[in-house]
């Protein structure tokens, strides 16, 4: 049957090799995000950081719509906020459907297609108001253009991601920097926990949580996010879009 409505196509993220050649596209199905996955960031947000792995409880998950993806780095300042914040995060892209059931962390790693770097952009004022009332975070987190991402690198070109750092500069000044060895929940742990709640599928992207140093972005700010020295995402905050 023919489509009766001209809806937007599935968002796609380019996949590159180490010499920046384009290999193809990664179609995005869902975006899962992890909250409070670095102890220093949990503390800066006023939450307790776990003393040990045994003490960490369950991870905080939320979602963004797939069409929040931005691939050219250009982000219009969103409506409804006076406090747009950056959160630089490791991206994990899944290349295979998970088998039915809960995945062991080691087995879950076999689903990983590749890695990238991205920003979990946040309307912090709306998130803070929702938190204060015990309401969902959707308006603070799941808005249009809230997920600028780099190209993806296939996992076999990354090696051991825990040896890498993620960082963010704004207008040339370092705002965030953290080693991925500091993740409270590593990639295998997070896929294991997600598999208790959702059927993971090829095309799913996970934002792995941010280190300390989150802060505001203004119109005209230029940002540069890096995953080690392997992948970069550069962009700029543009004036608000007007209807």
Query: Residue 87 or 186: which CB sits closer to Mn ion?
Result: 87
DSSP state of 40: H
Tokens representing 236?
């700029």
- 160 SS3 class: coil
Q: How far is the CB of 119 from Mn ion (least distance, A)?
A: 9
Task: Note the Cα 4 to chain centre separation in Å.
Answer: 33
Q: How far is the CB of 37 from Mn ion (least distance, A)?
A: 8
What is the number of the residue whose Cβ is closest to Mn ion? 120
Q: Which stretch binds Mn ion (CB under 5 A): 48-56, 82-90, 147-155, 217-225?
A: 82-90
Query: Residue 150 or 210: which CB sits closer to Mn ion?
Result: 210
Tokens representing 80?
């409804």
Q: How far is the CB of 34 from Mn ion (least distance, A)?
A: 7
- 239 SS3 class: coil
Q: How many residues bind Mn ion (CB under 5 A)?
A: 3
**Looking only at residues 182 through 241 of this chain, which bind Mn ion when binding is defined by CB under 5 A?**
210
Query: Residue 16 or 141: which CB sits closer to Mn ion?
Result: 141
d(CA 112, CA 160): 13
Residue of 125, 161, 144, 160 whose CA lies nearest to 70: 144
Q: Determine, following the binding rule CB under 5 A, whether residue 87 of this chain makes contact with Mn ion.
A: yes
DSSP state of 101: S
Work out whether the CA dihedral 178, 179, 180, 184 comes out positive or negative.
negative
**Looking only at residues 94 through 123 of this chain, which bind Mn ion when binding is defined by CB under 5 A?**
120
Q: Which residues pair with 239 in a beta bridge?
A: none
Locus of tokens 């780095």? 73
Query: Residue 16 or 36: which CB sits closer to Mn ion?
Result: 36
Query: Residue 23 or 60: which CB sits closer to Mn ion?
Result: 60
Q: How far is the CB of 137 from Mn ion (least distance, A)?
A: 10
H/E stretch holding 43: helix 39-44
Q: How far is the CB of 150 from Mn ion (least distance, A)?
A: 16
Contacts with Mn ion, residue ranges (CB under 5 A) = 87, 120, 210
């Amino acid at each position: 049957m023919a489509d009766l409505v001209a809806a937007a196509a599935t968002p796609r993220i380019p996949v590159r090799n180490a010499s920046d050649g384009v290999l193809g596209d990664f179609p995005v199905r869902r975006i899962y995000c992890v909250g409070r996955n670095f102890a220093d960031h949990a503390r800066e947000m006023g939450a307790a950081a776990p003393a040990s792995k045994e003490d960490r409880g369950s991870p905080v998950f939320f979602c963004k719509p797939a069409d929040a993806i931005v691939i050219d780095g250009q982000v219009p300042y969103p409506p409804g906020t006076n406090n747009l914040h950056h959160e630089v995060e490791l991206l994990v892209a899944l290349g295979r459907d998970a088998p039915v059931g809960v995945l062991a962390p080691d087995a879950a790693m076999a689903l990983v297609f590749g890695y990238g770097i991205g920003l979990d952009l946040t309307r912090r004022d709306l998130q803070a108001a929702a938190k204060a009332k015990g309401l969902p975070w959707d308006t603070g987190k799941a808005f249009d253009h809230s997920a600028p991402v780099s190209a993806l690198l296939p996992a076999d070109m990354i090696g051991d991601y825990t040896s890498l750092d993620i960082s963010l500069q704004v207008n040339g000044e370092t705002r965030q920097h953290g080693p991925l060895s500091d993740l409270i929940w590593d990639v295998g742990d997070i896929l294991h926990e997600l598999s208790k709640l959702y059927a993971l599928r090829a095309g799913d992207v996970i934002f792995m949580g941010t280190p300390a140093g989150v802060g505001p972005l203004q119109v005209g700010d230029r940002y540069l996010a890096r995953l080690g020295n392997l992948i970069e995402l550069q962009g700029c905050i543009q004036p608000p879009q007007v209807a």
